[in-house]
Amino acid sequence: MRANLAALCISVLTGVGVCSAQTAPQDAVTVAARTQPEYTDVYCSGFVSDARVPDEIRVISGEQSDYKIIFGHPEYVYLSRGEDRGVKVGDRYTIVRPERDPGNEWFQGQNKLSKAAGTLYRDAGQVRVVNVQPKVSIAQITFSCGGGGWMQRGDIARPFEERPTPPYKDPGPFDHFAPVSGKPVGNVISSLEYFQELGRGNIAYVNLGASRGVKVGDYLRLFRYQGNTTEWASQKLKGYQYKVYGFGRTPTAYQWKDLPREVLGEGIVLNVSRNAAAVLITYSTVPMYTGDYAEIE
């Protein structure tokens, strides 16, 4: 919400056009009505990389840069590589930039887990080279991501690569009492736009990656334990799972490990790095929080 609001304010001040091809919010269309994630889901999901993304090509600036601080579809930007380095008219690039949550930790241990997973990169969109000069080139923005997906000086340009678009699994009744799968378990460490509360249609980043067997198209089940107070947003009281002052208590002090887990929803993996994955949440029963658990189904 913070990132969305900032993007709106900047857009109003600068008059930057936003790509008209953006799709409707995920909640506007049921997942069952589609066979696979939409283009925006796949190419605007962002990613977490434990390896540094090469940054030898950068967005230098763009037209009307005397007053513009961000650039969007269908404007022109200047890239820091030209004819002397082999750039040709028609070359396509994906624009990304490294980011971090500007807020504090949303759950205990978040910073440590996020650092171990790698650097979060935001997808800003795509450009196509329309004019090549000796040292620089001019590219038109052909696709812009929503929210904070504007382009700005210093953004990284990488040669465009197709991303796989995984199919949704056959719809069926959601198992609220799904047993433990026995497969690797991780945490939701962050999300696109840094939402702390998540639901269907949001992108979550989990610290489960290729090194633990995750691949594009896999489904992850999200869950939590009663008695877990690591998600600060939910403002839980200590011992709430067996007592609430003025509303009763049990004779036994039950701990999280003594009670059934609460299955919250599930999502499909859109992209994977060695230590993390971007997951599109396809079903949710209640709000989810960063810090909740995820397991491979």
The span from the CA of 133 to the CA of 154, in Å, is 19
Nearest in space to 143 (alpha carbons), one of 53, 40, 238: 40
Q: Is the confidence at residue 32, as pLDDT, over 80?
A: no
- In SS3 terms, 86-151 reads as CCCCCCEEEEEEEECCCCCCCECCHHHHHHHHCEEEEEEEEEEEEEECCCCEEEEEEEECCCCCCE
Q: Is the confidence at residue 21, as pLDDT, over 60?
A: no
pLDDT at 22: 36
- The mean of the pLDDT values for the chain is 86
The span from the CA of 259 to the CA of 208, in Å, is 25
Are residues 291 and 106 in contact, defined by beta-carbon separation less than 8 angstroms?
Answer: yes
| pTM confidence score | 0.84
Arithmetic mean of pLDDT, 154-158: 98
Instruction: Give the confidence band of 254 by pLDDT, cuts at 50, 70, 90.
Output: confident
Are residues 80 and 136 in contact, defined by beta-carbon separation less than 8 angstroms?
Answer: yes
The span from the CA of 29 to the CA of 11, in Å, is 27
Full set of structural domains in the chain with CATH: 2-159 (2.40.10.410), 185-296 (no CATH)
pLDDT at 73: 94
Instruction: Give the confidence band of 231 by pLDDT, cuts at 50, 70, 90.
Output: low
